[in-house]
């Protein structure tokens, strides 16, 4: 009747690549800001801006994931209701009442 829920997980290689990519990007940006030929307050401002951007990206990713998971839950509840109605429906019943168990 119903299919078991499949939990999707990333492979260890994909996870490692994502972490390494994040570390390289953040390190390169930090090195670039540190080596700028400008005043310290400009470098500090750019550093804070980068940290704000990173935290905003994490928050956005979490919100998108939470919204997707909530949509999947609603979809599963709707599917269970339809399956329940189909199980209770007997097209050969003449008076339209659901079958008794």
pLDDT tens sequence across 37-58: 999 999 999 999 999 999 999 9
pLDDT of residue 44: 96
CA distances (Å), origin 32, targets 35, 67, 69: 5, 35, 38
pLDDT of residue 3: 56
What tens digit of pLDDT does each residue of 1-50 get? 455 556 677 899 999 999 999 999 999 999 999 999 999 999 999 999 99
Question: Radius of gyration over alpha carbons of the chain, in Å?
Answer: 26
DSSP code string of 4-58: PPPPP---HHHHHHHHHHHHHHHHHHHHHHHT-SS-HHHHHHHHHHHHHHHHHHH
What tens digit of pLDDT does each residue of 64-88 get? 988 888 777 667 777 777 777 777 7
């Amino acid at each position: 009747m119903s299919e078991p829920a499949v939990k999707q997980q990333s492979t260890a290689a994909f996870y490692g690549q994502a972490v390494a990519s994040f570390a390289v990007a953040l390190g390169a940006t930090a090195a670039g800001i540190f080596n700028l030929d400008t005043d310290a307050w400009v470098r500090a401002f750019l550093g804070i801006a980068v940290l704000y951007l990173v935290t905003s990206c994490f928050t956005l990713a979490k919100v998108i994931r939470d919204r997707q998971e909530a949509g999947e839950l609603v979809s599963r509840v709707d599917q269970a209701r339809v399956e329940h109605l189909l199980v209770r429906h007997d097209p050969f019943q003449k008076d339209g009442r659901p079958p008794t168990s």
